[in-house]
Amino acid sequence: MVNIQLIINIEIFLFIFIFILTRQIKIYAIFIAFTLIHEMAHALTGVLLGLKIKKIEIFPFGLKIIYEGNNNNKNIEIKKFIIVLVGPLINLVIMLFAIAFNLHTNIVYTNLIIAGFNLIPIYPLDGGRILKSLLSIKINKIKTNYIVNKISNITIILLTAITSILILYIQNIAIIVALAFLWYIVIRENKKYKIIKKVYETIEQNK
C-alpha cells in the first residue's frame, strides 16, 4: 500500500483570491498547469531512480516532494541532483517545442518564467536544491547548510533591490506576490537553519 502524506498550504487560497481580484487568474491557471508538469517530471524521475515518495507539499507556486531514505549518502545526493535538474529542463523543452511549432506566446513565456524562477539559488527552490546536492557531494552537511543559507539570503536581498527598480517599469502585481513568497520561504528556512545550527552546536559542546 502506498502511503504518501499530502500537505496543502493555505497560502494557495490567498494567492488565488489575489489573482482573481487583479483579474490575472487565467495567467495564474496557465502558470499552475505548467508548474504541475514541472513537478510531475521531478516525481517521475525520482520513481524511475528507485526512490519512494514520502510527502508532497503543495505551495502557491508548485509542489515540494520529499522522498524516503532522505540521508546524505553521495549516491542519494547524485540522484537528487538529477531529479531537481529535470524540472527546469522539461520547461525549457516545452518552451523550445512551442517556439518550433509557433504555439501561443503565453506557453513560451510561462515555461521560461517557471524554469528561470525555479533556478534561483534560494532553498528549497530547484536552484537551491541543485546547489545543496552539489555541495553535499563535496563537503559535510554543516558547511553545506551554512553556504546554502548564506547564498539564499544574499540572493533574496539582490532580488528585492532589482524588483524595486523593475516594478516601476513593469507594473504587475504578480512580481510583488512572487517576491513576497520568496521572502516567506527564506524567512521560514532561516528559522529551520537556526534550529539545526543550535543542535549541531550542542552536539559539539557535549563531545
Kindly give the confidence (pLDDT) of every residue in the chain, 207 residues in length, as a single tens digit, with 9 standing for 90 and above. 456 666 666 666 666 666 666 666 777 778 778 888 888 888 888 888 887 777 777 666 666 677 776 555 667 778 888 888 998 999 999 999 999 888 778 889 889 988 988 899 999 888 998 899 889 888 888 899 999 999 999 999 999 998 888 877 776 677 787 888 889 889 999 999 998 888 877 776 766
Query: Residue 154 has what pLDDT?
Result: 96
Whether residue 12 is found in the same domain as residue 51: yes
Whether residue 172 is found in the same domain as residue 150: yes
Helices 105-118 and 74-100: crossing angle in degrees, nearest 10, is 160
Whether residue 151 is found in the same domain as residue 107: no
Whether residue 105 is found in the same domain as residue 134: no
- Which of helix, strand or coil describes residue 66? strand
Domain count for the chain, please give it: 2
Cell of 39: 513537478
- Which of helix, strand or coil describes residue 65? strand
Whether residue 13 is found in the same domain as residue 110: yes
pTM of the model: 0.77
Domain final residue pick, 119, 149, 174: 119
Residue 183: domain span: 121-207
> How far is residue 91's CA from residue 104's CA, in Å, rounded to a whole number?
15
Domain final residue pick, 95, 119, 143: 119
Whether residue 114 is found in the same domain as residue 139: no
Whether residue 134 is found in the same domain as residue 97: no
Whether residue 126 is found in the same domain as residue 113: no
Whether residue 190 is found in the same domain as residue 102: no
Domain final residue pick, 119, 154, 181: 119
Whether residue 139 is found in the same domain as residue 188: yes
Whether residue 92 is found in the same domain as residue 184: no
> How far is residue 56's CA from residue 39's CA, in Å, rounded to a whole number?
10
> How far is residue 35's CA from residue 88's CA, in Å, rounded to a whole number?
10
Q: Which of 41, 49, 36, 125 is nearest to 87 (CA)?
A: 41
